[in-house]
Structure 1
Amino acid sequence: MTAQNFAPALSRALVHEGGFSNHPADPGGATMKGVTQRVYDAYRQRRHVSKRSVRLIDENELQDIYRRQYWNAVKGDKLPAGVDYAVFDGAVNSGPEQAVKWLQRALGSIKVDGQIGEATLAAIERHPDHDRLIAAMLDRRIAFLQALRIWPTFRKGWSARVAQVQQIGQAWATGSVGPQPTFTGGNAKATIDQAKPLPGKGAADAATGAGVGTGTLGGVLEQARQTLDPLAAGSTWIANVVTALVITGVVLTAGGVAYRWYASRKAKRLADALDLPAGVAA
Structure 2
Amino acid sequence: MASSREKEAMARVLAHELGYVNHPKDPGGPTNKGITQRIYDAYRRSKGLGAQSVQVISMKEVTEIYHRQYWDAVRGDDLPAGVDYVLFDGAVNSGPKQSIIWLQRALGSLYKGRVDGTMGFTTIAAVNAVNDHDALIDRICDQRLAFMRRLKTWPTFGRGWSARVAEVRSIGQAWATGAAPQVANFYDGASAKAFAEDAEAAPMTAPADAAAGAGTGGLGLSGYLYDLQNQLSPFSYTSEWIGKVIVVLAIASAVVAIGGLAYGLYARHKARRLAEDMGPV
TM-score normalised by the chain length of structure 2? 0.91
Q: Secondary structure of 2:77's partner?
A: helix
Contact 2:216/2:254, CA 8 A, preserved across alignment? no
Q: Secondary structure of 1:235's partner?
A: helix
Aligned-residue Cα RMSD (Å) equals: 1.7
Distance 2:219 2:266 in 1: 25
Contact 2:216/2:257, CA 8 A, preserved across alignment? no
Whichever of the two has the greater Rg, that structure is 2
Identical aligned residues as a percent? 49
1:179 — aligned with what?
Answer: 182
Which of 194, 199, 207 is the equivalent residue of 2:211?
207
- The size of the alignment, in residue pairs, is 269
Q: Deviations over 1:146-165 (max 9, x none)?
A: 01011011011000000000
Distance 1:179 1:274 in 2: 29
1:247 — aligned with what?
Answer: 251
2:55 — aligned with what?
Answer: 55
**1:45-194 residue pairs with structure 2 within 5 A?**
45-109=45-109, 110=111, 111=113, 112-185=115-188, 186-194=190-198
Distance 1:219 1:259 in 2: 15
Letter in 1 for 2:139: A
Distance 2:240 2:191 in 1: 69
- C-alpha displacement of 1:172: 0.4
Query: 4+ residue stretches of structure 1 with deviation over 4 A?
Result: 226-231
Letter in 2 for 1:251: V
Distance 1:123 1:138 in 2: 18
Contact 1:3/1:78, CA 8 A, preserved across alignment? no
- C-alpha displacement of 1:179: 0.9
- C-alpha displacement of 1:221: 3.0
Distance 2:22 2:255 in 1: 50
Q: Deviations over 1:124-156 (max 9, x none)?
A: 111110000001110000000001011011011
Q: Secondary structure of 1:182's partner?
A: coil
**1:252-271 residue pairs with structure 2 within 5 A?**
252-271=256-275
Runs (5+) with no aligned partner, structure 1: 210-216, 278-282
Which of 196, 202, 222 is the equivalent residue of 1:198?
202
- C-alpha displacement of 1:201: 0.8
TM-score normalised by the chain length of structure 1? 0.91
Distance 2:77 2:253 in 1: 63
Higher mean alpha-carbon deviation, 63-72 vs 239-248, is at 239-248
Runs (5+) with no aligned partner, structure 2: 233-237
- C-alpha displacement of 1:219: 6.4
